[in-house]
Chains A and B, each alone.
Chain A
Amino acid sequence: MISWLSAHRRACAGTLARLVRAPLASLFNIAVIGTALALPLGFYVVLANLQGLARDYSPQPQLSVFLAPDATAADARATGDRLKGRSGVTASRFVSRAEALETLKSRTGLADIIAGLPGNPLPDAWVVTAAGADAATLDALRADIRQWPKVAEVHVDSDWARRLDSLLALGRHAVLMLATALAFALVAVTFNTIRLQILTQRDEIEVAKLIGATDGWIRRPFLYFGAVTGAAGGAAAWLMIWGALAIFNGRLQPLSALYGIPLQLNHLNGGDSVAALLFAAVLGWFGAWLSVRRHLGAHDPL
């Protein structure tokens, strides 16, 4: 067990030594991987920020609750009381049918036509401000109020929320596709790097096999190398995004002052950062593993 651990520690130390021995090559390698990872990761960061922004600064979504034509003033009051008690409703305002007709007259220039009508065709209505902005919450609220007595129709102004939701979903898909493509790139980069390393260390591998090295012992440093390069690439990507955000946030400052709201893009949180690093390390390890499988068996002296 101890010798197994120390073998791993040695392989790890050997990997770091190898990285340091060819600093320029290692640096370029890490930069390539970092750039490949920075793209989807950056997109993800922007998306997460947009989502947060939409949640924080969206205009309050509204529902229009139209009462039945035969609803009395008492019915309207009862509906109003019930709305006040309903959770998920932050405010409600009564618009009487007369008031609505006046607004229609003054705002639309349809005064002549309206004057020619035999009566007021508009119902009484409550304009309700909902607490949640997402489509599901609004739909649930709408379905509930629709069931109430003397309620003829509930109109939800939730189209914009749906649009934003589907746009963000689209964005998430784009990030996923980009991430998949660039994950392939990362695997390919480590695959090739390890292939070159195996070629340059052909003698060492042959001698080690001849004097009793197990396949695991020979593979280990390459796998470590893949994982370490991947993780370093992930860290590089994290730093690139950090730098980009710092610059971007600087530019946002005047805009934020103009609008009087704190506009700022946030970096990945701790959990996401660790996940990204681990993901990069796993991809690097996988590329190395593929390469080792493909190229080490090839010149077994047997």
Chain B
Amino acid sequence: MSHITLSRVSKRYPGGHEALGGVSLDIGSGEMVFITGHSGAGKSTLLKLIAAIERPTAGSVLVNGQNVGTLRARGIPYLRRNFGLVFQDHKLLFDRSVFDNVMLPLEITGFDRREGARRARAALDKVGLLHKEKARPITLSGGEQQRLCIARAIVHRPSILLADEPTGNLDAGYAAEIGELFRDFHQVGVTVVLATHDMQLAARLQPRLIEIRGGRIHHD
């Protein structure tokens, strides 16, 4: 069963810039997909459309059979809980500890606190940050911040992991660690969709590669 389906999806921003023009795409459950292309090619827009951060101007985006484009506003939070989102700029909350950052998705879904704490520690352990659970995110290195972002993305065990340039600002060593994490999630059945232009990472993980050029699929 197909997990994510895009049919002739276009996205035109106010002002006339067309980020995507008629993209059709099927991503199966448990697949690992890298979306590549130059900056401004439309990679980020594609991820935003899947996560209902943007709505398509034309065409339809289906996630688990649900049409994201026509979803009512109050349905969006529940759709987003299917995703783990990893951002290039991390979007961590600097006024709370590493542990509390990871707890946030569980608090949002009303998870039992004790069980939640167990899961948060497991997620931190997975990304190798358990010893820093009490630290403030600002004291972490760039690579650690990215791993914290990943821990927060996976703590509620989403079925789809969406990552926008997760290795964008990292040197090769850190990027390799992050790559291994994504490989692990893929191996336990999580659908992993990465927007990246890190071809080294692609060479190592051997994912399905989709290249976008000028808002269209150039190569699949």
Contacts and interface: CB of A to CB of B under 8 A. Distances in A.
Interface of A: 3-4, 6-7, 10, 203-204, 206-215, 217, 301-302
A207 B91 contact: yes
Given A203-B91, A215-B74, A210 B85 contact: yes
B29 to A, nearest CB: 20
A206 to B, nearest CB: 7
7 contacts: A3-B110, A10-B107, A206-B91, A210-B85, A210-B91, A211-B85, A302-B55
Nearest to B91: A207
Contacts of A215: 74, 77
A3 B105 CA distance: 14
Interface of B: 51-55, 73-74, 76-81, 83, 85, 91, 93, 95, 104-105, 107-113, 152-153
Contacts of B95: 204
A205 to B, nearest CB: 10
Contacts of A217: 77, 108
A302 B108 CA distance: 19
Contacts of B105: 211-212
A203 B81 CA distance: 19
Given A302-B53, A302-B54, A212 B108 contact: yes
A211 B80 contact: yes
Contact of A213 (B77, B93, B153): B77
Nearest to B107: A10
A13 B87 CA distance: 30
Most chain B CB within a 10 A radius of its CB, from A6, A211, A214: A211
Contacts of A209: 77
A176 B55 CA distance: 50
Given A3-B111, A10-B107, A207-B93, 7 more contacts: A203-B93, A207-B104, A211-B85, A211-B153, A212-B108, A213-B77, A215-B77
Contacts of B112: 3, 6
A211 B111 CA distance: 14
6 tightest CB-CB pairs across the interface, nearest first?
A3-B110, A212-B80, A212-B81, A213-B108, A214-B77, A212-B77
A7 B112 CA distance: 10
The winner among B55, B74, B85, B109 for most chain A CB atoms within 10 A is B109
A111 B45 CA distance: 110
A210 B53 contact: yes
A212 B104 CA distance: 10
Contacts of A207: 91, 93, 104
